[in-house]
Structure 1
């Protein structure tokens, strides 16, 4: 399957974003729902999603840049 640079980049960012959201759902169900940390969970979730998306964007850039070597 041959993908262009933009498609490779978009798939990597999309995978990272979906994975981050699923992780946050799991974290909520497992840890946050009945915890005293519920008051700060919103800020924590936004930070986690921002860092996850940033990381997946960097990884997508690296993957798209070096995909011809793979």
Structure 2
């Protein structure tokens, strides 16, 4: 590790372990979001759903999906 690593106060082993846990969680969020994006598309398209309600649903999901992607 570089010089900045030696300046970290606290339990470096725990911090490193927590960082690994967060990286795994971010990967899991990305995987779930990808699956849900496909499910949302299928729901809207397969049902032939259209109109304001469908557009609002897709827009709302798009915001949620983008928020999840921001975690990753």
Shorter-chain TM range is 0.5 to 0.7
What TM-score comes out, normalization by structure 1 length?
Answer: 0.52
Count of matched residue positions in the alignment of Structure 1 and Structure 2: 50
What TM-score comes out, normalization by structure 2 length?
Answer: 0.51
CA offset at residue 13 of structure 1?
A: 1.1
Aligned partner of 1:45 in structure 2 is 61
CA offset at residue 46 of structure 1?
A: 2.1
Q: Encode CA deviations 1:13-59: one digit per residue, 9 max, x unaligned.
A: 11012101211211211x2112102x452x333212134356xx5xx
The structure whose residues are more often helix, as a share, is 1
Higher-Rg member (1/2): 2
Aligned partner of 2:40 in structure 1 is 27
- Structure 1 segments unaligned to the other structure (5+ residues): 58-70
Q: d(CA) in 1 for partners of 2:64 and 2:34?
A: 9
| Aligned CA-pair RMSD | 2.4
